[in-house]
Structure 1
Amino acid sequence: MMKIVSTIIIVGLLLPGVAWAQSPSSILPLLTGAYAPAEGGCEAAAAAFIYVEDKGLGANKTAGKVLAVKQEGNSFVLDVLWIEAGSDESDGDRDTVKIDVKDDRSFYFTNTASKRTLMRWCS
């Protein structure tokens, strides 16, 4: 009986850690989740957030479908189709995004509309 109780307690202590674990993105060597500018932190305006997903990017209510990825050392150049919520792909805007990976929880983000910004993981 003592072994069963001990096993239940150990499993109960391990599971919360598993639930909080983040997986790496399949397009970049980064953890999935929300990233915000290092200067403003995670309390920055919502417009500053970049969401790294399993196979794509996001920003606010805009999904970024990654059409192609080219790796150059620790830099990744992504051909992205941004699609606003409620729109379809024919209304999307093509964009070139450059991500310079610093580590698995931070990167420099640059695209056609923004300058190079250090983004840190918030999730």
Structure 2
Amino acid sequence: MEGRMQVTEWTPGTMSEVFHSDCPARVVLDHVTSRWGVWVLMALQRGDLRFYELRERIEGISEKMLSQTLRTLVRDGLVWREVEPSTPPKVTYGLTPLGRGTGEPLAELFGWIRDHAFEILDTQAEFDRVGGK
């Protein structure tokens, strides 16, 4: 297929292969866990959103970064994009079946982080208090 990376020669075996620099999973992991990728995927878990709704839901993301992140996730097949012809065009985003598969693992990770955030912050404060020793 033109424009697609050929990975047919990759034969997955053990989990340790993700540590190899040529493992295709590393590229996907970089996109899913990028600074904004994880937030976009989590925001879309609740349903389809227009561009401006995503921008409002994800505090701190610029329009440029949201556009770049969405473009990457659409290219990866995790997010779909629909343009409704109007002036200005209405663009809606949602998760593909592949993208919905990220929901449960990300939700578990977010839950763990939420449950342990104060403990981690306390540990950081203690580390800083004793001078990092």
Q: TM-score when scaled to structure 2?
A: 0.20
The structure carrying a bigger strand percent of its residues is: 1
Q: Which of the two has greater helix per residue?
A: 2
